[in-house]
Amino acid sequence: MRKLVSLGLVRDFPQGAPQLVRAEGRRLACVRRGDRVDVLDDRCPHEGHALSMGTLRDGVLTCPWHNWKFDLSSGRCLFGGESARRFPVEIVADEVFVDPTLDEAEARLRREEDLVRAVSDGSVDGAVREALRLARLGGDPAVPLVRAACMRTPYGAADALVAIEASLALCDAGILDDAESYAVIAQAVSDDVRGRPERALPAALPGSLADRDAFLDDLLEERRHDAVGRALGLARDVPFDAIVREWLVPFASIKLWDRGATLRRIRAAEALAARLGDAVRDELLVGLATSLGWAVAESDLPAWRATRAGLHEMARVAPGDADHDPHLSAALRGKEDEAVGAALASARAGASPRALLEELATAALERLASYDLACSDREGSAVTAFEPARAVIFAAAALRAPTGRVALAQAVMLAGLVGRLGRYAAPSSATPAAPQASAPASPGDLALAAREGALSPRCSWSSRGRTAALAAACVELATPERAELACAALRRATMLDTGGGLARIAGTARYVVDGRDVDD
Ligand code: FES
């Protein structure tokens, strides 16, 4: 309901000089120009300095702290980042009235727009502030960020989408706070979408889940527009998890040559759809259909001869239900052909897909924990700790739904990958596998390692999205038996980073949005 509060008489405001007025617990920067008075929130949206201490020229108010400039008539930021909040004013018989109540729907919309603008401009600190403001208004910053991540990159749902889901999971686990998780997300989304406009959507092709083969053909033939159209044409009451199960995961299991990257994106989208609901359903489908349509090329990937043969063989094996195979663990640590052979033999002997994937998850963590850092240092080396980190991320994604033939195929691919990673192991006498983990790791150690890994300012080995995904994967895989290993693996992958950047951005944003005014 509208509520008008008197700020005084027009004639009492000085011409062309901002003035601070306190009303209803708010600080207002009031500027008289002739017979009109404009009122902005006194807190500069950048770092909270008093706009009433700013300077005025040609209807533009300049904050004295870092010179952000605001159009008095709209509050829009003309130089800098986010807009200032402007209050509606009425003048009745020379008396100035302001409505200090917030139109929350309008405010959320404006914050969403400013948030997307900030990540598109590459302003991570601005995006974190806007995300916090949106959250304080009851909005969910993940919604506009998921839309941006899915709709603005030519490759659809990619690392940024995974970073969003992974960072929210780390926040849910109490490892990151909200500002920190937004900082990780803002960095990852900005890396992917900076300077990119939203893509145009094709027309929806109405159909049902029974059209799966047509959808898969579109992807295999790289007809991405048609694949997106089919995804958009599915009836709205088809559950997202059914689309994942019937259309998306089967495709990812035909084309596993991206070493699990597509599967991880699908699992991220599934979790985000469950969390955010219909608000992002179309965007997630568009992002995934686009992403899968780019995932078909395998010709430039390594030969993977043993893995290809293993996948062919495994298609004839019925999934078993035994939950343990005592011979599997050691065999999985062999070379590609040995690891694939072990997985096949174990599956034939009745090991369940879950049992295979659990053993492979442990083996993947061991590969990462023993990764030879010298591999990254060699001149011209394209190898980084991301090679074994892929396997850890892949294992965690596969273990979210470890049943059926699809999971068996994933186990073979993962076995081949883990086997191939043996070449990057540190010589045990030269470099200890996990120097930081000499004492048993506690849950707190793992949380700290995950937090530092996700927030470190530079990832010398990978993108922000992948680092967040690895941190979340290690937390996901950290059963009591694997906690110490997960901690050592994470430390190994992120020990090249130096700390502080995103944590500092998050802390400043929290101060600006939630803290006191700078001159109080
Ligand atoms: S420009 Fe206003 S506080 Fe930085």
- Which pLDDT value is given to residue 332? 78
Q: Is the CB of 125 under 6 A from ligand 1?
A: no
The answer to whether residues 461 and 386 touch, using CB atoms and an 8 Å cutoff, is yes
Distances (CA, A) of 254 to 223, 260, 395: 17, 11, 17
User: What is the CA(52)–ligand 1 centre distance, in A?
Assistant: 12
User: What is the CA(44)–ligand 1 centre distance, in A?
Assistant: 6
Q: Indicate which residue's Cα is closest to atom 1 of ligand 1.
A: 66
Q: Is the CB of 49 under 6 A from ligand 1?
A: yes
Digit-coded pLDDT (tens) for 458-501? 555 556 777 888 999 999 999 999 999 999 888 887 754 444 56
Q: pTM higher than 0.75 for the full model?
A: yes
Q: Which ligand 1 atom lies nearest to the CA of residue 63?
A: 2
Q: Is the CB of 44 under 6 A from ligand 1?
A: yes
**Residues of the chain whose pLDDT is less than 50?**
299-300, 429-438, 496-499, 516-520
Q: Is the CB of 42 under 6 A from ligand 1?
A: no
What is the CA angle 355-292-352, rounded to 5?
10
Q: Is the CB of 47 under 6 A from ligand 1?
A: yes
Count of C-beta atoms within a 10 Å radius of residue 12: 12
Q: Is the CB of 43 under 6 A from ligand 1?
A: no
- Which pLDDT value is given to residue 476? 95
Identify which of 27, 42, 53, 63 to mutate to test ligand 1's pocket (most ligand atoms within 8 A of the CB).
63
For the chain, give the number of residues. Answer: 520
Q: Is the CB of 46 under 6 A from ligand 1?
A: yes
User: What is the CA(50)–ligand 1 centre distance, in A?
Assistant: 8
DSSP states of 182-236 as a string?
A: HHHHHHHHHHHHTTPPPPPPPPP--B-GGGHHHHHHHHHTT-HHHHHHHHHHB-T
- Which pLDDT value is given to residue 515? 67
Helix (H, G, I), strand (E, B) or coil at 517: coil
